[in-house]
Amino acid sequence: MLEVSGLTTRYGNISALRDANVSVGAGEVVGLIGPNGAGKTTLLGSIAGLLRPASGSVVFDGNDVTGAPPEVMLRSGLALVPEHRRIFTDMTVQENLKIGGVTRSADERAELLDEMALLFPVLRDKWDTPAGFLSGGEAQQLAIARALMSKPKLLMMDEPTLGLAPVLVDAIFELIDTLRSEGRTILVVEQNATRMLGAADRAYVMRSGEVVVTGTGAELRERSDLFDTFVGG
């Protein structure tokens, strides 16, 4: 479904991402792990259109979408839950969700809102609350629900558990499980490598701007040379 080949992205002269090759198949849950500064966020940003790659290609659903702006990427079926959630704090929970469904028809948006109310009971209780008043865990759920409102073929999440209390981290991983059982395709950047390996079908390990290895959780846990990845992030 997603084929990233030889993707390189620079900030000025610094290559934050070098020659990255990543693929995600339909229905797969894929993790992206590695220490801080490994280029995970840069990779997601380059796929989602927030950053323009210097070279390489992003092929999604058979179409070359390399370098397309975010609004075009979203329309092709890629949604990103950005780092730090970036929910619209002055807007209500419902308004945030509606914006997430801005590309959908009014009828479809109404159906999706009902769907989100079922999937995220916490949000349903705060429908008309300004999103700025949500707790960290609620805000993260809102950010994920907002991305799901676009009915993405591929959902990408950047550090969904960052800064959350352990019990909320559990909730996010449960959510990933639920989404997986619905057959959704997901690519998650996660600092919590051990838990990610448990939740994902497969993972890529990144280090200093490069994708160094891929494999299933069991395979990656065997690799003692990746030890710093598990304790470092």
User: Does residue 216 bind other proteins (CB under 8 A)?
Assistant: no
Tokens of residue 91, six digits: 């807007």
Q: Whose Cβ is closer to other proteins: residue 28's or residue 158's?
A: 158
Site string for other proteins, 9-48 (x = CB under 8 A): ---------------------------------------x
Residues 149, 114: Cα–Cα separation, whole Å: 10
Which of 18, 146, 184, 202 binds other proteins (CB under 8 A)? It is 146
Residue 178: CB minimum distance to other proteins, A: 22
User: Does residue 80 bind other proteins (CB under 8 A)?
Assistant: yes
Tokens of residue 90, six digits: 């002055």
User: Does residue 50 bind other proteins (CB under 8 A)?
Assistant: yes
The 10 Å Cβ neighbour count of residue 198 is: 13
CA nearest to 25, candidates 229, 200, 224: 200
Q: Whose Cβ is closer to other proteins: residue 90's or residue 170's?
A: 90
Residue 155: CB minimum distance to other proteins, A: 12
User: Does residue 86 bind other proteins (CB under 8 A)?
Assistant: yes
User: Does residue 110 bind other proteins (CB under 8 A)?
Assistant: no
Residue 213: CB minimum distance to other proteins, A: 29
- Name the residue with tokens 């800064």: 163
User: Does residue 75 bind other proteins (CB under 8 A)?
Assistant: yes
User: Does residue 99 bind other proteins (CB under 8 A)?
Assistant: yes
User: Does residue 102 bind other proteins (CB under 8 A)?
Assistant: yes
Q: Which amino acid is at 19?
A: D
What angle do the packed helices 166-181 and 136-148 form, to 10 degrees? 20
Residue 218: CB minimum distance to other proteins, A: 34
Residues 94, 69: Cα–Cα separation, whole Å: 26
User: Does residue 160 bind other proteins (CB under 8 A)?
Assistant: no
Residue 193 near residue 229 (C-beta atoms within 8 A): yes
Per DSSP, helices labelled H in 2-78 are 40-48, 70-75
User: Does residue 82 bind other proteins (CB under 8 A)?
Assistant: yes
Long-range contacts of 106-113 (CB under 8 A, 24+ apart): 108/151, 109/149, 112/148, 112/149, 112/151, 113/149
Q: Please name the residues in contact with 21: beta carbons below 8 A apart, sequence gap of 6 or more.
A: 4, 5, 6, 7, 211
Give me the residues that bind other proteins (CB under 8 A), please: 48-50, 69-71, 74-75, 79-80, 82, 86, 88-91, 95, 98-100, 102-103, 106, 146-147, 150
